[in-house]
Amino acid sequence: MTYTVEFEPIGIRLICEEPLTVFEAARQAGVSLHSICGGKATCGKCAVRVVQGALPAPMDTEREHLSEALLAEGWRLACRTVVAENITIYIPPGSLEESQVVQTEGIEIAFAPRPAVRLLPVEITPPSLSDQASDMERLAAGLREHHGVENIIAGLPALRALRTALRETDWRISAALRGDEIIAAYPLAHDRAVGLAVDIGTTKLACYLVDLESGRTLAMQGVTNPQIAYGEDIMSRLEAVLVDSANAGPLQSEVATAINAVAADLCASQGLTPDHLLDFCLVGNTAMHHLFARLPVGPLAVSPFVPALNTALEVDAAQLGLKAAPGARAYLPAPIAGFVGSDHLAFLLAANFGEDERVRLGIDIGTNTEIALQVGKRIVSCSTASGPAFEGAHIRHGMRAAQGAIQRVKIAADGSVECDIIGGVAATGLCGSGVLDALAEMRKAEILNERGRMQTGMAGVEAAEDGKPAFTLVKGANGRRNITISQQDIDQILLAKGAIRAGIDILMDTLGIVSADIEEITIAGAFGTYLDPVNAVRIGLLPETPLERIHAVGNAAGSGARMMLASTDCRLRAEALAQRVEYLELTIVPGFNKYFARGIRLPVG
C-alpha cells in the first residue's frame, strides 16, 4: 500500500511505501528542511503544519518548541511527526534550508529553467489528391507559419508516431520539439512538458517527475535498486558482470524496469502516462552509470580503474529501455573518474561549486564517499571506500532513519543512557546519526579510548554472545532484545571515519590549506541530513570548523539532476565543471596509510 505526502506551497508529491518522519519524507522529496540539531527535536527549526490528513498527537519534545495554540493549528516538528497515510504538509519559508536549489514557489530560485524540449501547438492543413505533400512537409509548413520554426527534422520513432497522431488528432497537435527535431505529437489539449530526473544510487533509485517549463518537481518516489539482488556494494555488482557477462543485460534492464514502474506511478499522479516523458537526466556513481549504459565495466573493477568516458552522453531513451515519448533522449552527465561519478558532479552543480573562489569542502557520504575541495579556481576530488556503516548497514542493530530508530544518545555522568527514538515508540535499532551520537558520547564518557577500544569494566559494557565487549543502549522490555553497540560496530564506524577523514586531510594538504581556512562544508546524502555537526566534529569525522559553516543538503545529486533535466544552461555549467574538477587517486598518495591511521583516532570531543 502506497500513500502520498504532499508538500505545500511547493507542490511536490512524494509517493511512499513505509512510515516515515515528515523530515525524512521532505528529504526524499528533495526538500531540505532547516535543522541545526540534525533532527533531534532540540533546535525547533523544522516546524511544519499538517494541512490535511490525520493529525498525530504532539510529543513532549514538540511541546517544548511549539505553543498549544500552534499545536492545535496542526503545527508539528517535522523530525518528530511520523506519517503512514495520505497527508498534506505546509512548509513555511522559515523551515526551508537556505541552500535550497530546487525551484519552488516562494523560495529563492537557484536556476532558470531552459528545457531542451518544448511543446508547441500546431494546426496543419490535411492532404487531398490535389495536395499530396508528405506528413513532414505539412507539419513543417504549420510550424513555420505558427512559430517561425524552420528546417525541422525527425527521427524514425517520432516519424512513426507522428503519422498516426496527425490523423488521430485531426491534424491539430501539440508538437514536442528538441531544437529543430520533432520528438512527439500529442492532442492539442496536452500542453505540459514533463521529464524525469533519476539518481541511480547503489541502494536506491530516486525518481523525480519535473515540469520542464517551470522547473518544478511535480512528484517524487524512491525505490530500492533491484541490482541489490547481486550484492549490496558496487564491487559485487561489477563482479557479477565480470564473472558472467550474461548478467550485464539483467543488471541494466532491471533498473530500467524499476524506473519505468516508478515513472508510470509518478505520471499517473499527474494524469499523464510515460508517453508524455520528453526528457531524462540520470546521474549515478561511475559503476551505476556504466552498468546502466551497458558499457563494459571490466576496466572499472581493476587498476587503473579507467572509465569509458568523462563527458556527458545523450542517447535515445529507448536505447536504455526507458519508456518515453518516441524521440525522447536521456542525458547522462559526465562521470569525473572511475570512483567519482556524475552524482557527485550533480551535487557540486547543485551546491554551486565553481561559481565563486571560496575555500569549500563538499562531501557526499555513502558506501563510497566522494569529497571535493575547492580552493580558488581549483577543485580537486577524491573517493574513499567508507563502507556502509554510516548508513546503518553492517552495524548489528543498524537500521534506516525510520520509526523506532535511536536517533540521539546521551550518556550521563553516572553512566545512565538516554535515547531519543524516531516516532517516540519502543527502540528497534540505531540509525546512522544515532551511531555517531553513541560514539561521541561513549568517547566522552571514556567508555572508548582514543583508539576506539571499549573499556571492559565500565558500566553498560558486557561481553556479548560472541565474547566480545558490547555496550547496551536500551534494555529490552517486554521480551524485546537489548539494543547494543558492539566493538565490531565501533570498528566499522572508525574505519569509515578514518577513510573519509584521510581523504579530507590529503585534499587539504594537496591544496595547501588548514581547517581554519575552510569557509563552508556542504554534506550531501541521507546521512548528512541527520548529521549533528557537533558530533561530526567531536569524533573527528570533519575538521575543526565553526558549526554555522557546516550545511547538510540532503540528496543534492537528485537536485542537480533535476537542474540539468530542466535547464540546458545547467548542463553546460556541469560540463564545464566536469572538465575542471581534478581527480586525485588517494591510493598512490605517499603516506596514505599515515593519514588513514590518524583519521581513525578518536579525539576527546
Residues that bind a second copy (CB under 8 A): 127-137, 154-156, 159-160, 162-164, 167, 293-296, 298-299, 303-311, 313, 315, 319, 335, 337-338, 583, 585, 587-588
Q: Which is nearer to ligand FES, 39 or 274 (CB)?
A: 39
Which partner from the list a second copy, ligand FES, none does 129 bind, CB cut-off 5 to 8 Å by kind?
A: a second copy
Residue with cell 547503489: 202
Which partner from the list a second copy, ligand FES, none does 79 bind, CB cut-off 5 to 8 Å by kind?
A: ligand FES
| E-strand stretches of 487-554 | 520-524, 550-554
Say how far apart CA 403 and CA 238 lie, in whole Å. Answer: 33
Q: Which is nearer to a second copy, 129 or 413 (CB)?
A: 129
Q: Which is nearer to ligand FES, 433 or 522 (CB)?
A: 433
Q: Which is nearer to a second copy, 132 or 478 (CB)?
A: 132
Torsion of CA 336, 537, 550, 533, to 10 degrees: 110
Residues 497-526 that bind ligand FES (CB under 6 A): none
C-beta of 575: minimal distance to a second copy in Å? Answer: 13
Q: Which is nearer to a second copy, 3 or 583 (CB)?
A: 583
Residues 14-43 that bind ligand FES (CB under 6 A): 35-37, 39-43
Which partner from the list ligand FES, a second copy, none does 525 bind, CB cut-off 5 to 8 Å by kind?
A: none
Say how far apart CA 127 and CA 111 lie, in whole Å. Answer: 44
Q: Which is nearer to ligand FES, 42 or 221 (CB)?
A: 42
Residue type for 546, please? P
Q: Which is nearer to ligand FES, 35 or 487 (CB)?
A: 35
Q: Which is nearer to ligand FES, 99 or 386 (CB)?
A: 99
C-beta of 365: minimal distance to ligand FES in Å? Answer: 18
Residues paired with 370 in a beta bridge? 364, 383
Which partner from the list ligand FES, a second copy, none does 35 bind, CB cut-off 5 to 8 Å by kind?
A: ligand FES
Q: Please work out the total of residues on this chain that contact ligand FES, with binding judged by CB under 6 A.
A: 14
Do residues 564 and 571 make contact, with C-beta atoms less than 8 angstroms apart?
A: yes
DSSP string, 208-243: EEEETTT--EEEEEEEE-GGGGG-SSHHHHHHHHHH
Residues paired with 315 in a beta bridge? 330
Q: Which is nearer to ligand FES, 42 or 174 (CB)?
A: 42
Q: Which is nearer to a second copy, 59 or 159 (CB)?
A: 159
C-beta of 32: minimal distance to a second copy in Å? Answer: 32
Which partner from the list a second copy, ligand FES, none does 464 bind, CB cut-off 5 to 8 Å by kind?
A: none
Element housing 267 (H / E): helix 248-268
Which partner from the list ligand FES, a second copy, none does 581 bind, CB cut-off 5 to 8 Å by kind?
A: none
271-309: string of b/e by CB count within 10 Å (b at 16+)? ebebbbbbbbbbbbbbbbbbbbbbbebeebbeeeeebee
C-beta of 46: minimal distance to ligand FES in Å? Answer: 3
3-state SS class at 129 = coil
Say how far apart CA 547 and CA 496 lie, in whole Å. Answer: 22
Which partner from the list ligand FES, a second copy, none does 271 bind, CB cut-off 5 to 8 Å by kind?
A: none
Say how far apart CA 78 and CA 73 lie, in whole Å. Answer: 15
Question: Is the dihedral angle over the CA atoms 250, 251, 252, 256 positive or is it negative?
Answer: positive
Say how far apart CA 323 and CA 274 lie, in whole Å. Answer: 6
Residues paired with 118 in a beta bridge? 177
Say how far apart CA 579 and CA 575 lie, in whole Å. Answer: 6
- Kindly state the cell numbers that stand for 495: 574505519
Cβ burial, residue 364 (10 Å; 0-12/13-18/19+): buried
Which partner from the list a second copy, ligand FES, none does 44 bind, CB cut-off 5 to 8 Å by kind?
A: ligand FES
| Contact call for residue 44 and ligand FES (CB under 6 A) | yes
| Contact call for residue 320 and ligand FES (CB under 6 A) | no
Applying CB under 6 A, which part among 76-84, 201-209, 232-240, 364-372 lies near ligand FES?
A: 76-84
Which of 26, 79, 185, 523 binds ligand FES (CB under 6 A)? It is 79
3-state SS class at 184 = strand
Residue among 48, 23, 145 nearest 531 (CA): 23
- Kindly state the cell numbers that stand for 40: 533531534
Which partner from the list ligand FES, a second copy, none does 508 bind, CB cut-off 5 to 8 Å by kind?
A: none
C-beta of 23: minimal distance to ligand FES in Å? Answer: 6
| Contact call for residue 529 and ligand FES (CB under 6 A) | no
Which partner from the list a second copy, ligand FES, none does 319 bind, CB cut-off 5 to 8 Å by kind?
A: a second copy
Say how far apart CA 165 and CA 155 lie, in whole Å. Answer: 15
Residues that bind ligand FES (CB under 6 A): 35-37, 39-46, 77-79
